[in-house]
């Protein structure tokens, strides 16, 4: 007996819209993983010391990878490993054994950009899910179908796509194929992140993980026979024509979901643990709001959170067409400073914290917490590990006890408004 089932675009979107979007967080080291998990990520992406595009993110060796997968899975968080370099021939010899190692760890998927790498994964680890990286530049359903035919599970879409284009692609590929898109973080002026500036100017191959962020530098134009350089568009800051705004889609998550996106991705494996905690916390609250309200009118206190960690001017990228991406400066801004992280739970009126920026006794700070909504912390007293009272804490990474009536919990963060 055979039968056919007709699925309309509307039905596909209804099915997808009834499923919660995954919150995917960046992880550059152990502490960032703890923060991502603590503050509500559904999944994390991270890298081994080789084969990923963020060589200088810290990353994980073999033992650390084992720990990371076990830790995340114990908290019901998925782990995706980036194997997204554009490899040269010399990169291929160790790759099959590495892929088998990842399969033995029970990672939830690998993120790949190169057709050859994907074919190796499918051959040596056929049960390992493959997510196609944004580096593969998928902008249309024909390209998407090529990867679908290779047996991949998820497509991470090119950042140059509009939401309208994504919805159309969603209607033309199998419903079980997941779509992922960046929702927050630094954008690259190069097409889908395929940078050549780093190679040309410094010899460090961005497409094999060694980028120097040359797009953030100041540029000018010079006529060959003259020594003087002329800014292309001069103002008091200089000229940063290759420097891109950061993306922020926190006010438009409902539109991303309606377009058929099943996972929203936060950029930032090289950023601080505070950035990871703050941004993941904000998007977790935004997604929870989305799932519990018929209309998505995000409260101001949630929107304000994404301005409290380091960022450049925000934009919505290409999602609504006609992006205005360049900036007047490469310097990021933030309305808050990361002051300290709680190391041990509050007990008997005090909590152990680890310093990140100088703070003083009698100072008033704000708390970043998944449960206490921006609580105000009054520090009554600071005492070091030996029991000596301090007027201020100014030694980087120093651990001290702070006395306060707020019952602080491990991994909560103290911050200061600038």
Per-residue pLDDT of the chain (418 residues), as tens digits, is 233 334 455 555 555 555 899 999 999 999 999 999 999 999 999 988 765 555 554 578 899 999 999 999 999 999 999 998 888 898 888 899 999 999 999 999 999 999 999 999 999 999 999 999 998 999 999 999 999 999 999 999 988 899 999 999 999 999 999 999 999 998 776 655 555 555 545 555 545 455 556 655 666 656 566 666 655 554 555 555 566 788 999 999 999 999 999 999 999 888 999 999 999 999 999 999 999 999 999 999 999 999 999 898 898 988 998 766 655 566 678 889 999 999 999 999 999 999 999 999 999 999 999 999 889 999 999 999 999 999 999 999 999 999 999 999 999 999 999 8
Rounded Cα gap, residues 263 and 246, in angstroms = 19
pTM of the model: 0.85
Q: Which helix (H) or strand (E) holds 400?
A: strand 399-403
Domain 9-190+244-327 CATH superfamily: Aldolase class I (3.20.20.70)
Residue with tokens 């991303």: 256
Pair 347, 356: CB distance under 8 Å: no
DSSP for residue 265: E
Q: Does CATH place domain 336-417 in 2.40.30.10?
A: yes
Q: What is the DSSP string of 88-130?
A: -GGGSTTHHHHHHHHHHTT-SEEEE--HHHHHHHHHH-TTS-E
- Least Cα distance to 195 among 186, 178, 207 occurs for 207
| Contacts of 392 by beta carbon, 8 Å cutoff, 6+ apart | 358, 359, 360, 361, 382
Residue spans in the chain of domains classed CATH 2.40.30.10: 336-417
The enclosing H or E element of 291 equals helix 273-292
Secondary structure of residue 143 in the 3-state scheme? helix
- Start and end residues for every CATH 3.20.20.70 domain found in the chain: 9-190+244-327
Q: Residue 292's CB: how many other CB atoms inside 10 A?
A: 7
Distance CA 313, CA 332 (A): 8
Cα–Cα nearest to 378, from 413, 405, 344: 405
């Amino acid at each position: 007996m055979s039968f056919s089932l007709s699925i309309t675009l509307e039905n596909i979107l209804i099915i997808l819209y009834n499923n919660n979007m995954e919150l995917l967080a960046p992880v550059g080291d152990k502490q960032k993983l703890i923060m991502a998990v603590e503050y509500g990520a559904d999944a994390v992406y991270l890298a081994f010391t080789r084969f990923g595009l963020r060589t200088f993110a810290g990353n994980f060796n073999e033992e650390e990878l084992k720990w990371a997968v076990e830790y995340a899975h114990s908290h019901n968080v998925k782990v995706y490993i980036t194997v997204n370099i554009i490899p040269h021939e010399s990169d291929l010899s160790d790759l099959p054994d590495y892929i088998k190692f990842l399969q033995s760890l029970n990672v939830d998927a690998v993120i790949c950009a190169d057709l050859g790498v994907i074919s190796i994964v499918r051959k040596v680890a056929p049960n390992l899910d493959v997510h196609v990286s944004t580096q593969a530049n998928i902008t249309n359903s024909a390209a998407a179908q090529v990867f679908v035919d290779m047996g991949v599970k998820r497509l991470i879409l090119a950042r140059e796509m509009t939401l309208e284009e994504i919805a159309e692609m969603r209607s033309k590929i199998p419903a079980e194929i997941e779509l992922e898109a960046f929702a927050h973080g630094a954008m690259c002026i190069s097409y889908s992140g395929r940078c050549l500036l780093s190679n040309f100017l410094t010899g460090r191959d961005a497409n094999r993980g060694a980028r120097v962020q040359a797009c953030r530098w100041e540029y000018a134009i010079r006529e060959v026979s003259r020594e003087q350089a002329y800014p292309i568009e001069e103002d008091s800051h200089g000229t940063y024509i290759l420097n891109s705004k950061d993306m922020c889609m926190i006010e438009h998550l409902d539109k991303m979901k309606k377009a058929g996106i099943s996972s929203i991705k936060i950029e930032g494996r090289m950023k601080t643990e505070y950035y990871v905690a703050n941004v993941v916390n904000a998007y977790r609250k935004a997604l929870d709001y989305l799932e519990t309200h018929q209309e998505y009118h995000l409260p101001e206190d949630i929107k304000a959170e994404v301005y409290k960690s380091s960022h450049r001017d925000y934009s919505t990228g290409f999602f609504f067409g006609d992006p205005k991406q360049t900036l007047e400066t490469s310097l990021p801004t933030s309305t808050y400073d990361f002051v300290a992280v709680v190391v041990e739970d509050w007990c008997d009126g005090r909590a152990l914290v680890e310093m990140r920026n100088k703070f003083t006794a009698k100072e008033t700070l704000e708390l970043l917490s998944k449960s206490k909504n921006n609580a105000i912390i009054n520090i009554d007293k600071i005492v070091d590990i030996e029991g000596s009272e301090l007027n201020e804490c100014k030694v980087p990474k120093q651990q001290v006890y702070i006395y306060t009536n707020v019952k602080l919990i491990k991994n909560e963060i103290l911050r200061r408004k600038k």
